[in-house]
Amino acid sequence: MRPGPLTVLGIVDHSIELARRHPRFVLTTIVAGSLPLALGGAVAIHLIRTWGPDPVAILAGAAILAALAVPRAIGWGAGLRGLQAILDDEPVDPPALLRQALARAPRLYAAQAWPFMWALFGTLLAAGPVVIGIFASNPQRFFASMGLALAGSTAGTLAAGFVGVYVARRVLAVPIAATDPTGAGSPLRKSAELVRGQTPRAMMLLTCLALFQILVWITLVELAPWGLELAEMLTGFSFLELRGVLTFRDPSYLAFQGALAFLAMEPVRCLCAGLFHSDGETRRGGADLMARLRRRAPVPAGAPREGEAAWRG
């Protein structure tokens, strides 16, 4: 059943509930599709750390990771088509959904990879000037160095704002690419048109998901050391060597936990995008209905018509 108009947190809540209620569908479509990219990213960080900086190898790895975004787009496509079926109370068949998404793979990839690229590039654009500003600031020459620090943070904030708006307005691109007829024009352009009145809501949704992702990652990073400590207390065995590896000081451990957190959040992200799309349709439908009702509302006999009251005095 389609829910009524939802708030941003309502969308996140509803998507978690849907993922909890349909675990097989979520695992076989969204999570399975995103698994190669998540693992690939973690392995890439581990290899960079162990092999050292080789630009050719890094470029090859980057191309492989960009290609691994294809199964992710297909998984999302299947997930979003499945969400439509769930909302319409129709049966969900993951293999059939994956086949349908595969037929739309180029459209889905372009709709997902382009905003993803801008989100990553935007993070660099925002972080770069801020880091330069922090390094440039000198407490001993506070006023002299303050200018560059301020300029850096302002530039970073502006970059983050612009990229945030750009990415937020493309949040519906994948749901549109997954569900709209194939010859209906660019999903990125259509998403920008549909989100126009709801950009703050879309930005809030993306911020919520990003914060949620960080929380899940920190929890997972801390979970293993806590678990080992508890196991030491309960069993009396020493896990000192393992605790030395499973620590937040180890970049590879952080990367693999990051991959796990990314995978854990993928169903929520995907279903949130689908629900935001469906919510927009509900709201637009409601607004249209209200306008139609207002136009058709019968005027009681003797009551002044619109604009007539002032004339009558």
Should residue 77 be labelled a site residue for another protein when binding is judged by CB under 8 A?
no
Closest contact distance (angstroms) between CB of 276 and another protein is: 21
187/304 Cα distance (integer angstroms): 47
Q: Under DSSP, is residue 186 helix (H, G, I), strand (E, B) or coil?
A: coil
Read off the tokens for 152: 């850096």
- If one counts every other C-beta atom within 10 angstroms of the C-beta of residue 70, the result is 19
Q: At what angle do helices 142-168 and 105-136 cross, to 10 degrees?
A: 170
Should residue 291 be labelled a site residue for another protein when binding is judged by CB under 8 A?
no
Should residue 61 be labelled a site residue for another protein when binding is judged by CB under 8 A?
yes
User: What is the footprint of another protein within residues 33-52 (CB under 8 A)?
Assistant: 44-45, 48-49, 52
Should residue 183 be labelled a site residue for another protein when binding is judged by CB under 8 A?
yes
Read off the tokens for 302: 């003797």
* Burial class (CB within 10 angstroms; exposed 0-12, middle 13-18, buried 19+) of 297: exposed
Among 109, 212, 256, 276, binds another protein (CB under 8 A): 109
Among 1, 53, 196, 241, binds another protein (CB under 8 A): 53
Closest contact distance (angstroms) between CB of 138 and another protein is: 22
Should residue 155 be labelled a site residue for another protein when binding is judged by CB under 8 A?
no
Should residue 181 be labelled a site residue for another protein when binding is judged by CB under 8 A?
no
Among 16, 39, 43, 65, binds another protein (CB under 8 A): 65
199/119 Cα distance (integer angstroms): 16
Q: Distances from the Cα of 87 to the Cαs of 22, 234, 286, in angstroms?
A: 12, 47, 17
Should residue 107 be labelled a site residue for another protein when binding is judged by CB under 8 A?
yes
Among 20, 121, 147, 207, binds another protein (CB under 8 A): 121
- CA-nearest of 177, 187, 191 to 81 is 177
List residues binding another protein (CB under 8 A): 44-45, 48-49, 52-53, 55, 58-59, 61-63, 65-67, 69, 106-107, 109-110, 113-114, 116-117, 120-121, 124, 183, 186, 188, 251
